[in-house]
Amino acid sequence: MDSIQKLLEIMADLRNKETGCSWDLEQDFSSVAPYTVEEAYEVADAIARNDLDGLRDELGDLLFQVVFHAQMAEEEGAFNFEDVAAAICDKMVRRHPHVFGTKEQRAAGPAKGAWEQIKAAERAEQNLADDGSALDGVANALPALKRAEKLGNRASRVGFDWPDTQGVRAKISEELAELSAAECSANDQQIADELGDVLFSVVNLARHLSVDPEQALAQAN
């Protein structure tokens, strides 16, 4: 039996209302989501440790999470695993015209900015305005540093950015002054808000310096 098909059948059996696993049957998208995030981090950890055997196992765990969500969606009549696979196939072909496109597109090679143009067209098809929703497309569930970085990148693409690091450094100084003022007020929420602004500005500095803030912080820990 094909391994993917076997995995799909195992998942269906686990969710069988008559003979399945009570724990698996109790789960929904929200309850499974934290496990999905955890498995993705364990994949990244195996890569960081250069543990290929561990990576194989962790990728399997992550694949199981995909199958779990697809099974629950199928039960609701929304989509199934085949739809998930078909959608990513279509997306990758669409986003790589220099590989899968016409003879002329393949000969031209990858065009600068083509990836973002294609993604913008996809957002337009989903009724997401290219400017008005540029920031809305960033997932809320991303780790805070990564989400701040992506928000900065999105803002930059629509022309809202500092021209160089000098402007970002000035913004950091401004936010630090506001944090100091908040400390004097002894308002815990205001202090937290201003500290968040400082962190967001530091992430923007990292972006301008082409430094991954998550990796930089991990190395400093």
- CA dist 73 and 46 (Å) reads 29
Which tens digits make up the pLDDT trace of 38-60? 999 999 999 999 999 999 999 99
Res. 147: pLDDT tops 70: yes
Q: What angle do CA 213, 40, 9 make, to 5 degrees?
A: 165
Contacts of 96 (CB under 8 A, 6+ apart): none
At which residue do the structure tokens 């309850």 appear? 31
d(CA 149, CA 185): 30
Gap between the Cα atoms of 64 and 58, Å rounded: 10
Q: How many CA atoms lie less than 13 Å away from 190 in the CB half-sphere? A: 11
What is the C-alpha separation between 9 and 87, in angstroms, rounded? 21
- pLDDT computed for residue 54 by the predictor: 97
Q: Which CATH number fits domain 3-79: 1.10.357.10, 1.10.287.1080, 1.10.10.10, 3.40.50.11540?
A: 1.10.287.1080
Q: 106 and 126 in contact (C-beta within 8 Å)?
A: no
Q: What predicted TM-score, i.e. pTM, was given to this entire model?
A: 0.71
Cα-atom radius of gyration of the chain, to the nearest Å? 22
Q: Can you give the pLDDT at residue 130?
A: 47
- Domain 144-220 part of CATH 3.90.1150.10: no
pLDDT band at 158 (very low <50, low <70, confident <90, very high): confident
With tokens 């496109």, the residue in question is: 101
Cβ atoms of 162 and 173 within 8 Å: the answer is no
Q: For residue 3, is pLDDT > 90?
A: yes
Q: In this predicted structure, what is the pLDDT of residue 112?
A: 64
- Among candidates 201, 184, 183, which has minimal Cα distance to 192? 183
Amino acid residing at 153: N
Q: Where are the domains of the chain?
A: 3-79, 91-126, 144-220
Question: Tell me: the pLDDT tens digits for 111-130?
Answer: 766 776 777 777 777 765 44
Q: How far apart are CA 70 and CA 5, in angstroms?
A: 13
Q: What is the DSSP letter of 206?
A: H
pLDDT at 113: 66
Q: Residue 123: what are its φ and ψ, rounded to 5°?
A: -65, -40
